[in-house]
Amino acid sequence: MKSGKNAKPADGWVYEGYRMTTFSNSEEAVATQYYLGGDELHYWPQDALTKAGGDYSRGEKDWHPHVVVDRELITGQNNKSSTGVALALLKQLDQ
């Protein structure tokens, strides 16, 4: 993703077309400012997943829980999603 706008998805990425989530770009902007001291990110996870072929989803509000389950892939948008991710994992294991 250091290639920026020229980055291309890898052929045959196993999660292409899956619904998924990660930190939103707006959450990353806050985290970069306050937790990374303004250091530059080489890629933004939301953009990276989208460019790789993922079907990115985000919650209505930043810093609120948002969990996406698509087949075996369980993702959470941010640290507030950890309980939901754990419950989704336990549900998957119970099937």
Q: Domain of 38?
A: 16-94
Task: Answer yes or no: is 7 within a domain.
Answer: no
pTM of the model: 0.84
Task: Answer yes or no: is 73 within a domain.
Answer: yes
Q: Are 80 and 64 in contact (CB under 8 A)?
A: yes
pLDDT of residue 35: 79
Task: Answer yes or no: is 8 within a domain.
Answer: no
**How much is the average pLDDT of 62-77?**
98
Number of compact structural domains in the chain:
1
Task: Answer yes or no: is 4 within a domain.
Answer: no
Lowest mean pLDDT among 23-27, 31-35, 71-75, 76-80: 31-35
Task: Answer yes or no: is 11 within a domain.
Answer: no
Q: Assign 33 a pLDDT band (cuts: 50, 70, 90).
A: confident
Question: What does the H/E/C string look like for the chain?
Answer: CCCHHHCCCCCCCCCCCCEECCCCHHHHHHHHHHHCCCCCCCCCHHHHHHHHCCEECCCCCCCCCCEEEECCEEEECCHHHHHHHHHHHHHHHHC
Q: Are 71 and 14 in contact (CB under 8 A)?
A: no
pLDDT of residue 3: 56
